[in-house]
Each structure stands twice: as C-alpha cells, then as structure tokens.
Amino acid sequence: MYILGQQLVNGLILGSIYGLIAIGYTMVYGIIGMINFAHGEIYMIGAYLCAIFLALCGVFGVDSLPVALMITLFFTVLITAVYGFSVERLAYRPLRGHGRLAPLISAIGMSLVLQNYVQLSQGARDQALPSLYSGTLRFGTAEEFVQITHLQLLIVVVTIVSMLALSWLIGRTALGRACRATQQDRIMANLLGINTDRIISTVFVIGASMAAVAGILITLNFGSFNFFIGFIAGIKAFTAAVLGGIGSLPGAMLGGVILGLSESLFAGFVNTDYKDVFAFGLLVLVLVFRPTGLLGRPEVEKI
C-alpha cells in the first residue's frame, strides 16, 4: 500500500515537472500555432544559470538561502526571457507567413545551436549542485511510509499556481484579449490596432520565464544536469501538452500528470526499461479516440 502511495507521489512530482515545462509549449502554440522546439533548451539554460548564480551568491558572501534563491530567480528569469525573445526574433519572425514547415525547421535548428553552444561553453560532462535544503514530510509508520520533500511539494504548488495565473492572464486581462485576438485572426488584430509582433514576442518571453522557473526548481530537486537535459525534458513536455490538448493550459497540466503517473506506476510495478514505451503507447491510444487531446478543441477552419 505504501509502495503504491510512494509511486503515486513520485508520479505527481514527475507530472508536475512535465506540466510546468509544457505550459511554455502551450502558450506559444495557442498564439501562433507553432511548436517552439527550442523551449527544452531554454529550460536547460535555466538549469545552468541557476547553478551559476547560486555560486556567484556564495562568492559575494550572500549567506541567506532565501535571499540567494530570490537573486537567482530574478536573474535567471531575466536572462532566459532574453533567450526566449531572441529565439522568436531569429527563428520565427523572419519566417512568419512562409508556411509552417520553414519555422519548424528553424526552431529545430535553434534548438541544436543552443544545445551545442552550452556544450562548448560549459563542457559535456554532467554538472552537480549540492543539496541546499533537505526538509521532508513523511506519512505512515517508522518502517513503512510515504515521503515528499519540501522542494517536491513546491514544484507541485508552483505548477498549479502558474497554470491558474496564466489562465487568468489569458482570460481576464487586456493582454489576454490581445493574445486571443492574435490567435484568432492576426490580420484583423493588426487592423484593430493590436501590435501582434509585440504580443507574440511577449508570449515567447512568458514561455521562457516558465522554463526558467522549471530549470531552477528541478535543478534544486535533482542536483544534477547536463547540456542534453533540454532535449529529453522537451520531448516529454511536448508529449504531455499533446496528450492534454495542445493550446490548453489546464490540458498541459493534466497531460503532464497523466504522463508522470503512467511512467511512475509502470516503472514501479512492471518494468523500468519500458516505461517510455507504455507512456507513448498511452498517448497514441488517447489520440486515436480523441485526436485533439483530452481538453483540446478541434480547429475551426476559417473560409
């Protein structure tokens, strides 16, 4: 019973990680209908920046962990936002209006550029970050218990809060109305005075900021990273976004949780080696019966 409980907790944590990264994919797709395949690399850069700024805080004598984390969060989000803005300007904006294939190939190329840039500048070996905080909650007896660390709990809370905050932003604010207008009809939005280029850049910046938060939390939780983690996490997060319904923020969260739980339960009770096979098989099964994903809406073609 406690083993099942622990696997469910592990799956929830893993799903929250996927969901937090998938939010960035969903934000971009919901506005321009394109997948930002460089998003995983932005998350990877966020992980490196987290370690760099924590080290700099130690060098400059910042002894308070909360203060060091706030400084790290601020500068990591700031720099990754610049990366997100740059990806939009270099890989997407010049090719806007040239069909879907050219920007897709450009985004894949940008992903490879960022991956190799980090490999050359930081090295190919795995990097490690010492554990900074080890608080744990335990439920059960001394011999059998389910545990979740405070950092893991924070990952779940941040993912839920991010999803709710962005849903409110899109549904209740002037920026959200401009985003929805840009998504529905970019030409008409321009005619109505909406600067669609600025809206699209803003969405890329928001997505990159979410990737930065994910990079910080996941690096603090696992303590190790390398230049390749963006590719693996990006594929899983993209799968979660498609499973939940690409373009739906609650769908990104739901897809991440389902993917994380399926991987954790299969690995814990069947076979670790084939957990990815089971997860992607589940995705195929869902898409066969619901091609738009669990919470996705079918596209309406404008004539």
pTM of the model: 0.88
Helix ranges, 185-226 (H) = 186-191, 196-222
Dihedrals φ, ψ of 145, to 5°? -155, 160
Structure-block tokens of residue 230: 């963006």
DSSP code of residue 274 = G
pLDDT at 233 over 80: yes
Q: What is the mean pLDDT of residues 18-37?
A: 82
pLDDT at 162 over 80: yes
Decide: 264 and 10 in contact? Cβ < 8 Å.
Answer: yes
- Where does the pLDDT of residue 302 fall: very low under 50, low under 70, confident under 90, or very high at 90 and above? low
Q: Tell me, what's the pLDDT at 67?
A: 92
Q: Tell me, what's the pLDDT at 287?
A: 80
Q: Tell me, what's the pLDDT at 299?
A: 61
DSSP code of residue 246 = T
Average pLDDT, the chain: 85
Chain segment 279-298, per-residue pLDDT in tens: 788 878 888 888 888 887 66
Chain segment 236-273, per-residue pLDDT in tens: 888 888 888 877 888 888 888 888 888 888 888 888 88
Q: Which residues contact 152 (CB under 8 A, 6 or more apart)?
A: 9, 13, 221
**What is the chain's alpha carbon radius of gyration, rounded to the nearest angstrom?**
20
Q: Tell me, what's the pLDDT at 61?
A: 86
Q: Closest Cα to residue 235, out of 21, 16, 20, 10?
A: 21
pLDDT at 81 over 90: yes
pLDDT at 190 over 80: yes
pLDDT at 276 over 90: no
pLDDT at 130 over 70: yes
Contacts 24+ apart (CB under 8 A), 149-154: 149/221, 151/217, 151/220, 151/221, 152/9, 152/13, 152/221, 154/217
Q: What is the mean pLDDT of residues 87-113?
A: 83
Query: Cα–Cα distances in Å, from 28 out to 93, 200, 201, 202?
Result: 13, 8, 10, 10
- Where does the pLDDT of residue 301 fall: very low under 50, low under 70, confident under 90, or very high at 90 and above? low
Domains of the chain, start order: 2-289 (1.10.3470)
